[in-house]
Amino acid sequence: MLREPSLTLQKAAEFVRAAEASKEQFQSLKGFASSSCVNAVKTSVFKKNYRKDKSSGPTYDCKKCGRNHKKGYCLAYGKTCSKCKEKNHFAVGCRRKKYSRTVEYK
């Protein structure tokens, strides 16, 4: 506030209101969820899906994600490959030929 060269009473009041609103929002969100709670939820969801995947039925080595799972439970489904930018496989399972970069000198 002190850095503002043309500070008026109205601008100062707006600044104070914004600061108070920000403080209230911070206090309300502070107790809402901590990062440890969020991490625990994420971990438990992954464990549930993994247990479900390991239940009955034949599994195979997936060439799209590089893991062992039942058909229809591939983690790469819907994801984009970081090498070729195509969908439904990871870079581990990318079947695109490796392109070598050639440089021409004149």
pLDDT in the model for residue 33: 57
pLDDT in the model for residue 20: 92
Best CA proximity match to 72, nearest among 84, 82, 57: 57
Contact 65, 75 (CB under 8 A): yes
Tokens of 13: 């009041």
Distance CA 93, CA 65 (A): 6
Point out the residues of the chain with pLDDT beneath 70.
1-3, 31-56, 98-104, 106
Contact 90, 76 (CB under 8 A): yes
Q: What is the pLDDT of residues 49-65, one digit of tens each?
A: 555 545 567 888 888 88
| Domain boundaries along the sequence of the chain | 75-105
Distance CA 45, CA 49 (A): 6
